[in-house]
Amino acid sequence: MTSYQSASQQFLDLLEHLGYNFFTGVPCSLFEGVTRILDREARYGYVSAVREDSALGLAAGAYLGGRQPVVFMQNSGLGVSVNAIVSLNQIYDIPALLVVSWRGHPRRPEGPEGRGDEDAPEHLIMGAVMEDFLSLLKIPFALLEPATMSQDVSELTRTMHATRKPVALVVPKGVLQQ
Amino acid sequence: MTRAEAVARVADALRPDWLTIACNGLIGRELYAHADAPSRFYMIGSMGLASSIGLGLALVRPLRTVVVFDGDGNVLMSMGALGSIAAAAPANFYHVVFDNEAHGSTGGQCTISGRVPIERVAAAAGYGRTIRLRSAAELNHTLSTFFIEPGPAMLLVEIERCDAPSVGRVEPAPAELTVRFRRNAMG
């Protein structure tokens, strides 16, 4: 027996410990490790959504039925989700934890080490404005750092409960891929 | 049938404990005006998402009947949700679509549902039953059994395209609707 647990499993355990019990979203390679577990283990009841705004609708329905939802998405999906966030979640006081990958991070070149390649062109603009974009939409957010993961997600969850609005956990490259 | 008449006939066939999610626009406002109840949630703003909300709800409350009141413009905007509903196949999910081939709440501009039969898209996606009907007599007949057999099922009701009526807005604030509905759904 090994006691080794992947970062992705530790992350899911933390979410469950904090009361999250409905999981939906659209995948991203930056949290591939998490969706691999969610797809494999039926007990999570993961609903693979067709679009990010539909995932927010699914999560809203689950919240109305008594659950505490998590919505996974790539940051490209934030663009798709804007109207759902502002005209569903925020005006109806429907909370959700948004786990949003940070493709196109302006300070973290995605290419092979040492070459400084940038991420694919479709991610560069959203990647550059991620923090401003979340702030503009008044979505409290935190960057997922392995060293402070537990306290950061706990704090964000407290904010979510207190405000009854969506909050975002931003996932950089390399943290939840395994 | 007018929108008001069709919405009223379907609403009158629902039991008070069934959970209803109404789409934005005049359909939700007609339902609110005709028969408001704590088990009814009126979505404003996020056009297209009523069916996704209903699906999430149906999945986590499998012992409660969930009915979505939708419009052709709403369904066309989120056609992918029909696939999600068919794939998850909750037996407690019922989708009622009021189809006037128009965006009734913004001035009656044409949608494409006259050329794209929504119930056939739902059937192709995998809904167990889909029905299209037009007359009040057909609607009454269908309503006597529609909610008895398991879902996911779609009832598409063709309604008249009419001028924007004087039906009022949904009065409770959105956040109040959430608290009220959630208490009912969790009870």
Which residue has tokens 């001035």?
B107
* A36 vs A178, higher pLDDT: A36
Q: Which pLDDT belongs to residue B100?
A: 96
Q: Which pLDDT belongs to residue B105?
A: 86
Average pLDDT rounded to a whole number, residues A24-53:
97
Average pLDDT rounded to a whole number, residues A135-155:
96
Q: Band of the pLDDT at A107, cuts 50, 70, 90?
A: confident
* Predicted confidence (pLDDT) at residue A114 exceeds the cutoff of 50: no
Q: In this prediction, what percent of chain A has a pLDDT beyond 70?
A: 93
**Could you tell me which of B88, B165, B5 has the C-alpha nearest to residue A24?**
B88
Chain B residue closest in CA terms to A164: B175
**Could you tell me which of B145, B124, B49 has the C-alpha nearest to residue A49?**
B49
Domain range enclosing B116:
3-186
Listed as ranges, residues in chain B with pLDDT below 70 are: 164-165
Q: Is residue A2 part of a domain?
A: no
pLDDT tens per residue, range B93-126: 999 999 999 998 888 999 999 999 999 999 999 9
**Does the ipTM exceed 0.90?**
yes
Answer whether B45 sits within 8 Å of A88, measured CB to CB. yes
pLDDT tens per residue, range A61-87: 999 999 999 999 999 999 999 999 999
Q: Is residue A82 part of a domain?
A: yes
CATH of the domain at B153: 3.40.50.970
Q: Which pLDDT belongs to residue B169?
A: 93
Cα separation, B153 vs B155, whole angstroms: 7
- Ramachandran region, residue A30 (left: φ > 0; alpha: ψ -120 to 50; beta: rest): alpha
pTM of the model: 0.96
Count up the domains in chain A and report the number. 1
Q: Band of the pLDDT at A5, cuts 50, 70, 90?
A: confident
Question: Hey, is the C-beta of B77 within 8 angstroms of any chain A C-beta?
Answer: no
Helix (H, G, I), strand (E, B) or coil at B153: strand
Q: Which pLDDT belongs to residue B148?
A: 96
* Predicted confidence (pLDDT) at residue A135 exceeds the cutoff of 80: yes
Rounded to the nearest angstrom, the minimum Cα separation between B41 and chain A is: 9
* A113 vs B152, higher pLDDT: B152
Cα separation, B5 vs A164, whole angstroms: 37
Rounded to the nearest angstrom, the minimum Cα separation between B157 and chain A is: 24
Q: Band of the pLDDT at A118, cuts 50, 70, 90?
A: confident
Domain range enclosing A103:
7-171
How many residues are recorded in chain B?
Answer: 187
DSSP codes of every residue in chain A: ------HHHHHHHHHHHTT--EEEE---GGGHHHHHHHHH-GGG--EE-SSHHHHHHHHHHHHHTT--EEEEEEHHHHHHHHHHIIIIIHHHT---EEEEE-TT-TTS--SSTTTTPPPPHHHHHHHHHHHHHHHHTT--EEE--GGGHHHHHHHHHHHHHHHTS-EEEEE-TTSS--
Least confident span in A15-19, A109-113, A147-151, B173-177? A109-113
Answer whether B45 sits within 8 Å of A87, measured CB to CB. yes
Distance (Å) of CA B37 to CA A7, A41, B42, B160, B175 = 46, 38, 11, 26, 16
Q: Which pLDDT belongs to residue A1?
A: 43
Cα separation, B141 vs A85, whole angstroms: 40
CATH of the domain at A53: 3.40.50.970
Residue of A24, A65, A84 with shortest CB distance to B46 = A84
